[in-house]
Structure 1
Amino acid sequence: MLTATYSGDRTIEVSEAEPSTPAPGQVQIAVAYTGLCGTDLHIFHGSMDARVQTPLVFGHEMSGTIAAVGEGVTGWAVGDGVTVMPLAWDGTCPACLAGNQHICQNLDFIGIDSPGSLQALWNVPAETLVRLPAGVALDHAALVEPVAVAVHDVRRANLQPGDTAVVIGGGPIGVLIATVARHFGADVLVIELDEKRRAQIEGLSFATLDPRARDQVAVVEEWTGGAGADVVFEVSGAAQAVRGATSLAKVRGTIVVVAIHPTPREIDLQRVFWRELSILGARVYERRDFETAVELVADGVIPADLLITRIVPLSKTAEAFADLEAGRAMKILVDVAGQR
């Protein structure tokens, strides 16, 4: 079978490998599609070299069907449509014992810390499977994982119907957060520098703002009657966005840090103090977030066709990263099974 691996030094290699049979407690998935995301870009850039073991078969946003079932696995059958919640926790650390297994202190993020879905046949623990409803397109279903991220972010913010939410950064996760927040009843403004992305986001009937053209603080204050936003989601990963986020939130507002920041950032703690702001981290997701994400994809709430810029064969994975780096795509899926 073909696999795509990160070998270090910004190198992606596609090569043949022998599939292995699923161990007891595992299932083997015939992977259909794998989405490439910002975390994969961090791996490609070498920002996670201290964490990953190379060569690494990466990828964790995926869809597929069960190809084989290992010994002791019940409730699953060959042909079932699935996606994977790619988290394996130890169950014994203080975080797990406190009920926060999804951010286990010894978490195995599958596709980063262990082999991922850019391979035709992928063996995973059965407990990571999430069932797909019949009729859901497998290319759309490859978006369930990032949708679960957005659902978790919105829930982490405790966003309420009627709240105002600013999303800083209109990439795939930013668009998904905006979509989920609106679905949960919020009024949303997306701040995005790229003109093409703003046009796409406006096509989904979201208000957008180019912060180079208009003062973002003035716009948000006008929009909220001088109060500031209930919630600000920092999704861009830019230092300037972090510095500016505190100026957009209302008194006792909430800032949710979604983006991965590989280096420490400056933040206006005077503003945090003055307005009694809450700053929250939002890392991955819980099982209920995945289940909600499946429903949102299946019900057509998620603008999957807008988000998926194109689908490429596994052999073109390296070229896909070049396009993502250059901002030439919103979301690229890899056709692992060779369906297109």
Structure 2
Amino acid sequence: MKAAVLETYNNFVWKEVVTPKVKPGEVLIRIKFASICGSDMHIFPGDFHPRTPIPFTPGHEMGGVVEEIGEGVSGFEVGDKVAVDPIIWCGKCPACLRGHYPACTSLKLVGVDLDGGFAEYISVPQHMVFKTASHLPDEHVALVEIYGIGFHANNRAETKDGDSIAIWGAGRVGQVILQAARTKTKSTIFMVDPLDKRLEIAKNHYENVITINPTKENPVEAIKKYTDGKGVDIAFEAIGHAHEFDGVPTPIRACIQSIRGAGKVVVLGLGDDPAPIVFKELIWKEAKIVASRVSHGEFTEVIEHLNAGNLKPEALISKVMHGSQIQQAFELVQNESQNYLKVLLDFSS
């Protein structure tokens, strides 16, 4: 089979490799589409070294069809359209013993810690494979994993109908938080981002979305104005590496300032820099800060909404390129990240 192998950091090679043999309990999947993730963009230059040694085949957002079924596997047939949950947990650490797998102390991901889906085939254990409706476009199946992040964040926030929301960051993660939230609440959602192109994607695809560019106005003041000084029920921070703007609080502090009393802040951004917080502002509101990482069984929830047409995957897809063009695709996202949300790689032909 052909695979995109990261031979050296910053250098993919499209080459012939050994096709995996399906083992007992596994499902061999013919990959149709895989999606480039923000984590992949860190793997590419070696930011995750030594976690991702080279040579290595990344790819943890993928979808395809069942090619072969291993001994002992049930519930699948050749030709089934499926998505792959890349998460591998240990099952033994304190978090796993409590059933909280995203907090596993030795959590691994297919496509991050071991070869992944930027290839024509992959074989994975049955429990990692989720069937989708046959009518779902192949491109959309590859987005199930990132949608899982958005739904998990909303489940961590316990988003319910009537909740108003503010989302800092209108990139990939911010957009799926928005789409997941829209399946749970019809109330106002504020999107905060310095890139108008990303704000327009949110506003053009959903009603009752108010966009705020922090280079033009203070997001906290704007949210307070629109909510008659009350603030929102939930604020999500999905930025990570934030840029500072004069007179504008840092994102997590802005989230705290923008929520109502007893509101919630959910943090997803994986920035390396310290994030200043004035805890007095949180304590006065007796509010909560909750962290959210990867997903926790939300694949089924995501697929139900995709099958029913409740989500808008086309809003996320900026470009589709063949798998053999992976080097160009990564350089494109690396050099023009502001112009692209999800770039999909086509392995179907």
TM bracket (short chain): over 0.9
Counterpart amino acid of 1:134?
S
SS in 2 for 1:310: strand
Question: Are the equivalent residues in 1 in contact too, given 2:26–2:70 (CA < 8 A)?
Answer: yes
Alpha-carbon distance between aligned partners in 2 of 1:42 and 1:279, rounded to the nearest angstrom: 26
Indicate yes or no: 2:298 matched with 1:298. Answer: no
Aligned mate of 2:213, from 189, 210, 219: 210
Distance 2:259 2:8 in 1: 40
Aligned to 1:223: 226
CA-CA distance at 1:158 after TM superposition = 1.1
Measure how far apart 1:8 and its partner are: 4.6
| Aligned 8 A contact 1:176 1:302 in 2 | no
Q: Percent identity?
A: 29
- In 2, Cα distance between the equivalents of 1:306 and 1:319? 22
Matched, 1:314 2:323: yes
Q: Does structure 1 retain, via aligned residues, the 8 Å contact 2:241–2:270?
A: no
C-alpha displacement at 1:123, in angstroms? 0.9
CA offsets per residue over residues 101-133 of structure 1, 9 Å max, x none? 343222221111111110101011111010111
Indicate the residue corresponding to 1:96 in structure 2.
96
1:162-181 to 2 correspondences below 5 Å: 162-181=162-181
Match of 1:267 in 2: 277
Change (3 A) 1:67 1:167: same
* Distance change (3 Å), C-alpha of 1:76 and 1:299: same
Structure 1 residue 216: deviation in Å? 1.1
Out of 163-172 and 246-255, give the one that drifted further: 246-255
- Could you say if the C-alpha distance between residues 254 and 6 of structure 1 is closer, same or farther in structure 2, counting changes exceeding 3 Å? farther
Question: Which structure 2 segments of 5+ residues have no match?
Answer: 243-249
Deviation of 1:160 (Å): 2.0
Q: After TM superposition, give the deviation of residue 170 of structure 1 in Å.
A: 0.7
Aligned to 1:256: 266
Shift of 1:213: 1.0
**Structure 1 residue 236: deviation in Å?**
1.4
The amino acid that maps onto 2:48 is M
SS at match of 2:236: strand
Partner of 2:14: 14
> Which has the larger displacement, 278-287 or 238-247?
238-247
Shift of 1:251: 1.9
Could you tell me which residue of structure 1 aligns to residue 247 of structure 2? Answer: none
What residue is the counterpart of 1:232 in the other structure?
Answer: 235
Code of the residue aligned with 1:34 in structure 2: it is A
When normalised by structure 1's length, the TM-score is 0.94
The amino acid across from 1:178 in the alignment is: L
Shift of 1:241: 2.1
Distance 2:19 2:67 in 1: 12
Correspondence for 2:144: 144
**How much does 1:274 deviate?**
2.8
TM normalised by structure 2 equals 0.92
Counterparts of 2:81 and 2:289, CA distance in 1? 38
1: CA distance, partners of 2:277 / 2:73? 49
Deviations 1:277-324 (A, max 9, x none): 21111001122x111100111222221122111110011112222222
**Residue 246 of structure 2 corresponds to which residue in structure 1?**
none
Residues 1:6 and 1:245: Cα distance change in structure 2 (over 3 Å): farther
Partner of 2:245: none
**Does the 8 Å CA contact 2:9/2:54 hold for their aligned counterparts?**
no
Any runs of at least 4 consecutive aligned residues in structure 1 with deviations exceeding 6 A, and if so which?
Answer: none
Aligned-residue offset at 1:172 = 2.1
SS for the counterpart of 2:222 is helix
Does 2:192 align with 1:191?
A: yes
3-state SS in 1 of match to 2:339: coil
Say yes or no: does 1:244 pair with 2:247: no
Aligned to 1:203, what secondary structure does the other structure show? helix
Is contact 2:10-2:45 (8 Å) kept? Answer: yes
Determine the C-alpha separation between the residues in 2 that align with 1:47 and 1:200: 29
Q: Residues of 1 paired with 2:70 and 2:59: CA distance?
A: 22
CA RMSD, 1 decimal: 1.6
